[in-house]
Amino acid sequence: MDIERAIKLIEKSDTVFAAVKDRKVIFVSEERGIKPALEFFFLGKETTQGSSVADRIIGKGAAMVLSLCCCKELYGGVISRDALASLKKGGQTVQWGTVVPYIINRRGDGMCPLEKLLSNTEDPQVGLDIIKKFLMKLGGK
């Protein structure tokens, strides 16, 4: 029931990411990329644990961050193979619209940089550290 509500939010509005828990919308975002998953993660496990999350696009970075949130169930409108494998390996209940080989970067000319950076790790905590370092480098430019 919660996952259906979250999915409706991302399908029928400008919302890109939605989390529902106990029939209440607890978080929505119109931001692109990894930002919504990170913002949701930083709400804390007391808030995120047991929630149902729908995201229009789930790459491996978002998958790793969301696995640390202890969500009850996840939906990705588009999900990369590595993201799906990571979530399944972590025991997450996951649904999806389309599975793609990888998430394409914003220029549309190659692989998302986080998909590349995370290709050699399966540990979500290590993945989170890699994501943080990547974003710090971006912020320094």
Q: Kindly write down the DSSP assignment for every residue of the chain, as one continuous string.
A: -HHHHHHHHHHSSS-SEEEEETTEEEEEE---TTHHHHHHHTT-HHHHTT-EEEEEEE-HHHHHHHHHTT-SEEEEEEEEHHHHHHHHHTT-EEEEEEEESSPBPTTSSSB-HHHHHTTT---HHHHHHHHHHHHHHHHT-
Q: What is the pLDDT of residue 13?
A: 82
Tell me the whole-structure pTM to 2 decimals.
0.93
How many angstroms separate the first and last alpha carbons of the chain?
43
Return the structure tokens found at 80. Answer: 């990369």
Tokens of 53: 């999350």
User: Could you tell me the domains of the chain?
Assistant: 2-139 (3.40.140.30)
* Cβ atoms of residues 20 and 52 within 8 Å: yes
Mean pLDDT estimate for the chain: 94
* Predicted confidence (pLDDT) at residue 84 exceeds the cutoff of 90: yes
Q: Residue 90: which pLDDT band, with cuts at 50, 70 and 90?
A: confident
**Is the confidence at residue 141, as pLDDT, over 60?**
no
Model pLDDT, residue 113:
93
Q: What is the mean pLDDT of residues 2-14?
A: 94
For residue 12, pLDDT over 90 is answered with: no
